[in-house]
Amino acid sequence: MFSKFRSLIFKIDPEVAHNLAIKFLKLNLTPNLFDENKDNPMFQSTLFGKNIDNPIGMAAGFDKSAEVYNSLFKLGFGFVEVGTVTPLKQYGNPKPRVFRLAEDQALINRLGFNNLGAENVRNRIRSNLSKGLLGINIGPNKDSSDWLNDYLIGLRTFHDVADYITINISSPNTEDLRNFHEEVKFDKLMNSIHEEKIKLKSKVPIVVKISPDISEEQIGLISKILLDYKVSAIIVSNTTSKNREKLNDISKHQKGGLSGKPLEEEANKLISKFYKLLKGKIEIIGVGGVDSGESAHKKFLAGASYLQLYTGMVFQGPNIVGKIKKELKEILINDSVKNFREIIGKNHTN
Ligand SMILES: Cc1cc2nc3c(=O)[nH]c(=O)nc-3n(C[C@H](O)[C@H](O)[C@H](O)COP(=O)(O)O)c2cc1C
């Protein structure tokens, strides 16, 4: 069904197509898609103490200003992460700023945290309570003079309406944001978040989203700090500024973050490295090129306990969660696996 529409949709500018999709989802006409695996125990799990139907979440960036999260639950997502939200409303970079690389099943974006700002998003969430597990991804305003304080504003604004909060230090489209991956800066950020949570008497789980473009040394240092502060989970990973040489599409040299298929292998390697260092003490949410049962299977084997996707939905359509579950079920049945959790990190034990 979606494949018929796809060639039509792909004639439209990708950001315009995205805004149309948001408008449609906002109408709340989304049907409950037929999913033969809804409530299938094979996929059931818990995340931060809450039951979820399946471990496939919508990644940050699709619903930046929390407009359609309840429609995304209807499409079958086990959890949804909205944002990135900054303290103040922000337009982002000049357009065009999203590029579809159809030949590579990829996107390049340099949106730059366009969103309606923390207060607006908080009010939205309070007036439209979430029907599923909702994460809120926070970041700083580009022109702010104190980025660390911007994260604290995000935490204060959302700690009582989010099921978890993601500290996004990994967008390539806010210049220098990725400096938070440096040891001293990262430790200071995590310490401030920790202190602020104590002040707020908040128990909201903290998740950190990292860049795939980090060194071996940084992987080790970040893991240690995550363990020190008992962070709840790490999202591996955001988009990459690298990996352009393998691409075929004419848009391959656009500036921005690359997502989708060309990110998959890189993200899987990084998940493996973090899994070895975190030893199951911190959950890993695997992201990057998930679009099929096979790609989901690979991420679980590498060590992810949960998945997120964005680009896969652009290419495969709104029924992607149902499709992944159907394909993954075949693989798990073949291997006599009763619940996907049995295979998490299996690459490391065989
Ligand atoms: C158009 C677009 C916008 C994005 N915006 C955000 C964002 O605001 N915050 C964030 O943490 N990640 C953002 N991402 C990154 C995704 O959440 C995800 O980490 C990345 O796309 C890799 O997953 P995928 O290959 O399934 O798309 C964005 C990705 C795309 C394609």
pLDDT at 128 over 80: yes
Residues 277-281, mean pLDDT to the nearest whole number: 93
Kindly give the distance from the C-alpha atom of residue 99 to the centroid of ligand 1, in angstroms, as a whole number.
13
Q: Tell me if 311 CB under 6 Å of ligand 1.
A: yes
Residue with CA closest to ligand 1 atom 7: 61
Question: Can you tell me which atom of ligand 1 is nearest the CA of 311?
Answer: 27
pTM exceeds 0.85, yes or no? yes
CB atoms under 10 Å from CB of 268, counted, come to 23
Predicted local distance difference test score (pLDDT) of residue 32: 67
Choice among 22-26, 165-169, 193-197, 342-346 with the minimum mean pLDDT: 22-26
What does the angle CA 303 – CA 300 – CA 325 come to, to the nearest 5 degrees? 160
Predicted local distance difference test score (pLDDT) of residue 33: 66
Strands 98-101 and 106-109: antiparallel
Q: Tell me if 318 CB under 6 Å of ligand 1.
A: no
What residues are annotated to the active site?
A: 171
Kindly give the distance from the C-alpha atom of residue 59 to the centroid of ligand 1, in angstroms, as a whole number.
6
Residues 15-21, mean pLDDT to the nearest whole number: 91
Residues 72-113: tens digit of each pLDDT: 999 999 999 999 999 999 999 999 999 999 999 999 999 999
